[in-house]
């Protein structure tokens, strides 16, 4: 092989490696700290960059501008990690990451239907706006959230069902009204880490207001207008209650102690 040929191949190799390095750096790491028994299934959505006039064609079936990621549940708390591109190009149209949405799933019982789900959302903006988090010097931006179970009754036997409820936490660790996630500035994310930290509290609360009364060992279900009243709001009556059915079939007076 001639010296010229070796030099040409070396130049091509260096250019290829530089291109790969450039593409690799145009991404960030998404980490999700999951409680035991939780899994996530999500997608990253891309749209034309600001100022671009190109449009993605309408099509059925495959959507190359949508990237799917998932992490299976484990018996102990764990951290899932994904590499998320900040830019993409589909049909010659330059795209940027606009949104991350993922479903948070967990089982509250042994039956196949005993599943709860809530969602987390992260929006990516072209410009920094007041209230957006600032990337720390260590390159890891945490987005804290907390999940818990809410309980309710359903059906003529007033069977206990549970709902997964996840919310963001503020800097002081207090629950916010928004779902986990938030709004972040896209610039400066390349090569950095966004970490969604999902805590879990064992304390359960009623899913519907004015249905339950706090009692020793937990909560008692208000009777309502009759034993057959499915909605059974307390409406000030905190002395008449009804029994309910636990997931294991027991009829109980107090949830979760089942006195």
Domain boundaries, the chain: 29-200, 208-256
15 phi/psi in degrees, rounded to 5: -65, -40
pLDDT digits (tens, 9 = 90+) for 193-215: 999 999 999 999 999 999 999 99
Long-range contacts of 8-17 (CB under 8 A, 24+ apart): none
- Per-residue confidence band for 91, with pLDDT thresholds at 50, 70 and 90: confident
pLDDT digits (tens, 9 = 90+) for 169-202: 998 889 999 999 999 999 889 999 999 999 999 9
Contacts of 50 (CB under 8 A, 6+ apart): 96, 126
Q: Identify the pLDDT of residue 55.
A: 80
Q: Identify the pLDDT of residue 65.
A: 64
pLDDT digits (tens, 9 = 90+) for 217-236: 999 999 999 999 999 999 99
Measure Cα distances from 107 to 34, 104, 119, 161, 214 in Å.
13, 11, 15, 11, 25
Q: Which helix (H) or strand (E) holds 24?
A: helix 3-25
Number of residues assigned to the chain: 259
pLDDT digits (tens, 9 = 90+) for 32-53: 999 999 999 999 999 888 888 8
Residue with tokens 């004015």: 210
Residue with tokens 């005993």: 114
Q: How does the average pLDDT of the chain come out, rounded?
A: 87
- Structure tokens of 194? 């966004």
């Amino acid at each position: 092989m001639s010296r010229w040929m070796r030099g040409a191949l070396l130049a091509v190799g260096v250019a290829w490696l530089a291109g790969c390095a450039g593409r690799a750096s145009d991404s960030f790491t998404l980490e999700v700290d999951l409680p035991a028994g939780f899994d996530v299934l999500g997608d990253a959505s891309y749209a034309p960059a600001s100022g671009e006039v190109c449009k993605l064609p309408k099509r059925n079936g495959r959507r190359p501008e949508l990237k799917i990621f998932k992490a299976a549940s484990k018996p102990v708390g764990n951290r899932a990690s994904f590499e998320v591109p900040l830019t993409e190009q589909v049909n010659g149209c330059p795209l940027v990451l606009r949104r991350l949405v993922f479903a948070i799933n967990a089982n509250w019982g042994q039956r196949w239907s005993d599943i709860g789900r809530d969602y987390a959302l992260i929006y990516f903006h072209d410009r920094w706006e007041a209230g957006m988090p600032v990337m720390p010097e260590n390159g890891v931006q945490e987005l804290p959230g907390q999940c818990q179970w809410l309980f309710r009754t359903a059906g003529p036997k007033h069977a206990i069902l549970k709902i997964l409820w996840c919310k963001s936490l503020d800097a002081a660790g207090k629950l916010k009204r928004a779902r986990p996630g938030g709004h972040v500035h896209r610039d400066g994310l390349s090569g950095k880490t966004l970490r969604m930290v999902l805590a879990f509290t064992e304390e359960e609360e009623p899913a519907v207001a004015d249905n339950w009364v706090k009692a020793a060992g937990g909560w008692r279900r208000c009777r309502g207008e009759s034993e057959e009243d499915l909605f059974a709001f307390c409406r000030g009556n905190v002395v008449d209650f009804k029994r309910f059915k636990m997931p294991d079939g027991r009829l109980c007076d107090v949830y979760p102690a089942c006195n």
